[in-house]
Amino acid sequence: MKLVIRYYKTYFDDFVTSRDQSYKLPPDYTWICEHAGHRVLSALIYRLGEAAAFFYCRFILHVQIKNRKILRKYRGMGCFIYGNHTQPAGDAWIPIRAVFPRRGYAVVSPANLKVPVLGPLLPYLGALPVPDGTDGMKKFQQAIRQRILEKCCIVLYPEAHVWPWCTRIRPFGTASFTYPVRYKVPSFCMTTTYQKRRHHKKPKVTVYIDGPFYPDGQMQYKEQKKGLRDEIYQCMLRRSRENTCTYVIYEQETKQKKS
């Protein structure tokens, strides 16, 4: 792969967009459908998704997931998994592969539902799109709670924006760490790293699972979120040292102007 330099203004910049990037969920959007036919269809599509995830991760991205056995020790409870956002398509498939054989769900931008072909299937594959309004947020949080009670894994990308092949861990806030503090369940981090492969242009992808992490119950609510965020962020920073190659360099525009 040829080395590419991309310039950004802030960490909120998008490098991967769709035609409906500003799409918002309709007021009647349903995160959990109790209709029997929908549940059967969802289970079928998810099983097919597991097979697709195996193929895509194994033969397209060349993914190796390390420490996955850690998640298996916590099958008896729901959990949250935090990852760095570096693969436009892979970040949909890697979590399915990482949490197998458990059912996984991922918090996503509504714009993902408008991606051709894959977008309409995402709700069946466990996508939980973030709503815009207060009413929708209440239903969204109820869906999060129900999936945790069902002992599922919920994946979040706190960096929020996809930066393809990025080897740094970008700063992120504490908002997404509300859930493990609220529901008192374990959290894990899932750090994607890249290594050069001999005789191949594409890098090898190694994903590290670390944890569990728990908030400090002796702290105030806000301090628990910050403490959990900091612990996971620092762990991801350490894992990012496993990157041995860089194909895309991200630099701030101010540096470009100074030069």
Q: What is the DSSP string of the chain?
A: ---EEEEESSTT--SS--TTTT----TT--SS---HHHHHHHHHHHHHHHHHHHHIIIIIS-EEEESTHHHHTTTTS-EEEEE----TTHHHHHHHHHHTTS-EEEEE-GGGGGSTTTGGGGGGGTEEEPPSSHHHHHHHHHHHHHHHHTT-EEEE-TT-S--TT--SPPP--SGGGHHHHHHT--EEEEEEEEE--TT-SSPEEEEEEEEEE---TTS-HHHHHHHHHHHHHHHHHHHGGG----SEEEEEHHHHHH-
30, pLDDT greater than 50: yes
- Residue bearing tokens 């549940």: 39
CATH of 4-258, one of 3.30.160, 3.40.50, 2.40.128, 3.40.1130: 3.40.1130
- Residue bearing tokens 């099958």: 75
Q: For residue 48, how many C-alpha atoms fall within 13 Å in the half-sphere facing its CB? A: 11
User: pLDDT per residue over 42-71, tens digit each?
Assistant: 999 999 999 999 999 999 999 999 999 999
Write down how long the chain is: 259
Say what the pLDDT of residue 199 is: 78
Of 46-55, 109-118, 189-198, 249-258, the range with the lowest mean pLDDT is: 249-258
Q: Could you state, in order of their start, the residue ranges of all structural domains in the chain?
A: 4-258
Which pLDDT band holds residue 255 (cuts at 50, 70, 90)? low
- Report residue 105: phi and psi, to 5°: -130, 150
Say what the pLDDT of residue 257 is: 52
Q: What is the DSSP string of 141-200?
A: HHHHHHHHHTT-EEEE-TT-S--TT--SPPP--SGGGHHHHHHT--EEEEEEEEE--TT-
Say what the pLDDT of residue 63 is: 97
pTM (2 d.p.):
0.95
User: pLDDT per residue over 131-147, tens digit each?
Assistant: 988 889 999 999 999 99
258, pLDDT greater than 90: no
**CB neighbours of 35 closer than 8 A, spacing ≥ 6?**
none
Which pLDDT band holds residue 173 (cuts at 50, 70, 90)? very high
201, pLDDT greater than 90: no
Give me the chain's average pLDDT, please: 94
Which pLDDT band holds residue 259 (cuts at 50, 70, 90)? very low
Say what the pLDDT of residue 254 is: 77
Say what the pLDDT of residue 232 is: 98
The CA-based angle 254-256-259, given to 5 degrees, is: 110
CA-CA distances (angstroms) from residue 238 to 76, 209, 219, 232, 246?
A: 29, 12, 25, 10, 17
User: pLDDT per residue over 2-23, tens digit each?
Assistant: 789 999 999 999 999 888 888 9
Strands 204-213, 187-195: pairing is antiparallel
256, pLDDT greater than 50: no
Say what the pLDDT of residue 187 is: 98
User: pLDDT per residue over 74-126, tens digit each?
Assistant: 999 999 999 999 999 999 999 999 999 999 999 999 999 999 889 999 999 99
